[in-house]
Structure 1
């Protein structure tokens, strides 16, 4: 095995645009926004016959949003290339938080973020584009995917009020 030189290691954002990545990875439009392609569906299934895990590539361009949605399984986001991404989540439709998915550990970004089962989630690229991977366990099924109504976002509770 030969050594890898610096010229062999290219940063995708320096040489490819979003449209070229979409073409090369054969990504398709996703109902929540952005582009995706399923890359893995484990043939092992649980007692209900559901795959135990799936993985996708997912790309958001500037101006695109992964609209608020939730999944009936845990979803792990992995940063691959491009700009960092903001992932907003809400466990209950009221309380919301944002995390930064990306490579800059010193600025609080993380290369991996877990969204627990049933939590509302939305994502936005902080630059021209962001390429990520999403792993879902048990495996993703569109039957367990729920889009929020257009324009919906978590509504903070009023001070002193309940749910």
Structure 2
């Protein structure tokens, strides 16, 4: 199995200081959507790309802290070990939260692909703590990623909004953010 350092080098990955883990942009669509055609999205001059895709790697000992984007995200699992994924759904959804195993060990009930609806808070962490363990994934975003659509969750605010999930929220957030 490849090492964390090798994957970072092979895919020219950069640290995601806000969220945790590492990422590399793979593709951004040349097709753009004009501003104001997507309800609920912040206005942008020049519109938005139709979609984008990244590689994302989460090494052992790091957490992808709770974050959300305005559009939908489709996660793909490529290699490594499964992650525990916490989803906090927007108010009015059929369920408040979901805690699932995301990975490619199918016989243990993990999912190799997961659709995360826009506006859903999501975070993940490896289920193991060995130094060289990692999860190597991909994320497709519709519409394409734009920083205006990206929010890192603040622990106290999330606990106020989802008080029944306070213990989980503490595991998937940082004290200082």
TM-score class, shorter: 0.7 to 0.9
State the partner residue of 1:130: 135
Q: Secondary structure at the match of 2:144?
A: coil
1:1-150 counterparts in 2 under 5 A? Answer: 14=1, 16-30=2-16, 31-48=18-35, 49-92=47-90, 95-127=96-128, 128-150=133-155
> Contact conserved, 1:38 with 1:57, CA < 8 A, in 2?
yes
Q: Normalising to structure 2: TM-score of the pair? A: 0.75
State the partner residue of 1:3: none
Q: Take 1:105 and 1:39, find their aligned partners in 2: how far apart are those partners?
A: 26
> Contact conserved, 1:33 with 1:66, CA < 8 A, in 2?
yes
Per-residue displacement from partner, 1:88-145 (whole Å, max 9, x unpaired)? 1011379221121111222211110011000011011224100000000011111100
Q: Take 1:47 and 1:142, find their aligned partners in 2: how far apart are those partners?
A: 17
Q: Take 1:29 and 1:131, find their aligned partners in 2: how far apart are those partners?
A: 14
Q: Runs ≥4 in structure 1, deviation > 3 angstroms?
A: 150-154
Q: Normalising to structure 1: TM-score of the pair? A: 0.81
- Which structure: greater helix fraction? 2
How big is the alpha-carbon RMSD for the aligned residues of Structure 1 and Structure 2?
1.8
